[in-house]
Amino acid sequence: MDDHVTPSTALSLSELPNVEMDGLPLRINRTPNGVHAKDTLSETDLDDPQLYLNRELSHLQFNIRVLEQALDDAHPLLNRLMFLLIFSSNMDEFFEIRVAGLKHQMAMGDDTTAADGRLPKAVLAEISDIAHQQIARQYKILNDTLLPALEQQGLRFRRRAQWTEAQKQWVHEMFNNEIMPVISPIGLDPSHPFPRLVNKSLNFIVELEGKDAFGRAGGMAILPAPRSLPRLMALPKALCAEGYSEYIFLSSMIHAHAEELFPGMRVRGCYQFRLTRNADMTVDPEEVSDLASALRGELLARRYGRGVRLEVADNCPDDLTNFLMRQFELDAEDLYRVEGPVNLTRMMSVLGDVDRPELVYRPYTPSVPKTLKISSMFDSIARNDVLLHHPFQSFSPIEELLREAARDPNVLAIKQTLYRTGAESSIVSALVDAASQGKEVTVVIELRARFDEADNLQLASRLQEAGAIDIYGIMAYKTHAKMLHIVRREKGELRHYAHMGTGNYHSKTAKLYTDYSLLTANKALCADVHKVFQQLSGMGRARKIDTLLHAPFTLHERLVEMIDREAQLAQKGKRGHIIIKCNSLTEPKLIKALYRASQAGVECDLIIRGMCCLKPNLPGISENIRVRSIIGRFLEHTRVFHFHNDGKSETWCSSADFMSRNMFHRVETCFPLLDKKLATRVRKDLETYLVDNCQSWLLQNDGSYRLQDPGDSDAISAQETLLYAFASKS
């Protein structure tokens, strides 16, 4: 096992602060159980907009927390750069989907207010203020902090003014041989109208002086950068300063040779810009006869959606930016002047190009439970339920289970849901092998997984060609549940096996995201999984699901009931405690239920990585609610719901977040941990997160977040502690 933890922030589980299993004494319970709780409940209007945070602004706050990691020297230098680039990518998607949605709402004359009472126009104005500040801050961090630090480590990004003569010659040859043949400058005149530019593509607006071969007077031209070329190129080692690896941006190479594209004319100015477009896709279920065909058409249209943001070089003259804004029908608040490349996410290529182990997180090897190493997967699962905690534990057992099922002559049928699985998916390869060998393979593949639509369409075709039955889910509901069902003949009878998880069947993200996987042969759980698959593939009324919770049918109602149950117990003077860990909390009825629980005296510990519309610490409303967000090496993705239930605790894992879309517009599952040892283990994991004082951001009731400071206490990182704990068991 590689040594991969930071001892100062990774404690063994036995060293963690002494806490109760089902209720951590993290704060004073300001509303004692049963004291005036009933009066408080009856006097409060829980629909009051002042009790809610704005969803979009909360989303921005998450992106800001990601950007903060770029300044945290607890992360290795290249990983700090990675966080900055993730912020850039997150902001792209935020504009493509969230800002685009608000703009569309305004264009349709829809003045529906958000839960916090804000109108779309007001939200957009505040988004613009915050986004301008943070995007400017992003470039300042890059230019003033990260690039100088990288240069000190021998990684240099060369600007045009810094090129040596030898480097200029190399760039010139590269431009003539690789760029010039594929670039298409577009002069603007009545016969050359402004071109349609692809979403988020790199472009230049060029000011020209003089006359061309046809006698046309200079004016303006648009220069789209070829999409086939990398945005960042490594200089040959022989041209780099001793001890350095050096890189040049494609934008600099094009800019330096702009005049060669307009022979005989003078380039007065050349400025890069990038347009972000509405990238949301809508498919009307009543007008679609073939979902796959409809999505292929939508994917083409996505490239040219309505403009929502314009990024330009900071030195671009006002007359040119105004011209561009008119072309894209944008306002001044949609314009972002940037001090550097307009598409920072393309710098991600450096992370794969540089071999500098000391500048990245130390490697680790995810562990595999010993029980899964000593016998077949089916024998191991038949003995006991197996719970895996990714990425601390390997995703490979799920892949191995499918591979074993594909080659096992006793396996008769495999059913699988796929949401995001990656273009080169080992899971899909195993399903293809199983179908090719004559097994009944049914795959519910969600074609509408945002930004994975193209990959999923290709995977669906591959599965069909192998003989699998492809089902595209339910038109009005995205299939987001993570389920695998295997039917195997054993001793003359059919035995059922299942996998359920909180995350996707994606081997790459399983190394980066925290998720739980349950492997089980429990008859009740497997029977319910089978029923859910039957609902997805067939038709008919909803079948009774006995053990699982199932959206859009029972999940929301039961979650509200379990939260209310804690409140009722607290009102009787009994101890109430709820721990919710998920990605987002925005659904109003669940928030109201948590407010009622807090008013009744229930301790509510919420670990919400991203958006949260609930306001904690409101007197008489939520003083017993504490909300934290953990941001670290791994993306927190587990969805776990724990209820004390008067000592008869229940712990559930789910594919669903506490959002309206998950509760009412998606097919989701939520499964109980019936094995008490596994439930106890998950609760111990939750405790570890609740005592994190290094990567834990506490939500304030004004919507801001405050990073916890360990002060004189031992520094505890939940992720490092779990990494250490599982490494020591391998």
Residues 518-540 have pLDDT tens digits of: 999 999 999 999 999 999 988 76
Contact 632/674 with Cβ under 8 angstroms?
no
Q: Give the model's pLDDT for residue 273.
A: 98
Give Cβ neighbours of residue 625 (< 8 Å, ≥ 6 apart): 594, 595, 598, 604, 606, 614, 616, 617
95-359 and 370-541 share one CATH topology? no
Instruction: Copy the structure tokens of residue 691.
Output: 């005592």
Give Cβ neighbours of residue 64 (< 8 Å, ≥ 6 apart): 130, 134
Q: Give the model's pLDDT for residue 537.
A: 87
- Mapping DSSP to helix (H, G, I), strand (E, B) and coil, where does residue 449 land? coil
Q: Give the model's pLDDT for residue 666.
A: 95
Supply angle C-alpha 691, 692, 693, rounded to 5: 110
- DSSP secondary structure code for residue 661 in this structure: H
- The residues with which 413 forms a beta bridge, in sequence order, are 440, 487
Query: What dotted CATH number matches 95-359?
Result: 3.30.1840.10
Q: Is the pLDDT of residue 120 over 80?
A: yes
C-alpha 545/C-alpha 138 separation (Å) is 49
The answer for 521, left when phi > 0, alpha when psi is -120 to 50, beta otherwise, is alpha
- DSSP secondary structure code for residue 589 in this structure: H
Return the C-alpha torsion angle 65, 67, 73, 78, nearest 10.
130
Nearest by Cα to 387 from 574, 638, 13 = 638
Q: Report strand pairing: 603-608 vs 577-582.
A: parallel
Supply angle C-alpha 104, 329, 278, rounded to 5: 40
E-state strands within 511-621: 513-520, 549-551, 577-582, 603-608
Clarify whether 480 is annotated catalytic.
Answer: yes
Residue written as tokens 């609930």?
Answer: 614
- pLDDT category at 16 given cuts 50, 70, 90 is low
C-alpha 107/C-alpha 281 separation (Å) is 17
Q: Report percent pLDDT > 90 for the chain.
A: 76
C-alpha 649/C-alpha 612 separation (Å) is 25
Give Cβ neighbours of residue 610 (< 8 Å, ≥ 6 apart): 58, 59, 62, 583, 584, 629
Domain ranges of the chain: 13-47+550-729, 95-359, 370-541
Name the strands in the sheet holding 266-277, side by side, starting at the edge strand that comes first in the sequence: 186-187, 220-224, 203-209, 266-277, 307-313, 335-338
Mean pLDDT of 438-454: 85
Q: 370-541, what's its fold?
A: Endonuclease; Chain A (3.30.870)
Instruction: Copy the structure tokens of residue 620.
Output: 């008489």
Query: What dotted CATH number matches 13-47+550-729?
Result: 3.30.870.10
SS3 of the chain: helix, strand, coil, percent, to 5: 40, 20, 40
Q: Is the pLDDT of residue 34 over 50?
A: no
Nearest by Cα to 478 from 716, 666, 317 = 666
Q: Both ends of the chain: CA-CA distance in Å?
A: 8
- Helices 291-302 and 453-466 cross at an angle (nearest 10°) of 150
Contact 403/433 with Cβ under 8 angstroms?
yes
Instruction: Copy the structure tokens of residue 428.
Output: 């899909």
Task: Lowest mean pLDDT of 13-22, 531-540, 613-622, name the range.
Answer: 13-22
Give Cβ neighbours of residue 169 (< 8 Å, ≥ 6 apart): none
Q: Is the pTM of this model over 0.85?
A: yes
Instruction: Copy the structure tokens of residue 504.
Output: 């996707």
Contact 382/521 with Cβ under 8 angstroms?
yes
C-alpha 284/C-alpha 293 separation (Å) is 13
Q: Give the model's pLDDT for residue 246.
A: 96
C-alpha 700/C-alpha 63 separation (Å) is 16
Q: Give the model's pLDDT for residue 436.
A: 93
Given the residues 480, 506, 637, 642, the one annotated as active site: 480
Count of C-beta atoms within a 10 Å radius of residue 431? 31
Nearest by Cα to 639 from 678, 664, 608, 603 = 608
Q: Give the model's pLDDT for residue 543.
A: 79
Dihedral (CA of 289, 293, 296, 301) sign = negative
What are the pLDDT digits (tens) for 355-406? 999 999 999 999 999 889 888 999 999 999 999 999 999 999 999 999 999 9
DSSP H or E stretch at residue 684: helix 676-690
Residue written as tokens 């092998």?
Answer: 433
Helices (H), 94-204: 100-107, 120-141, 147-152, 165-174
Q: Give the model's pLDDT for residue 582.
A: 98
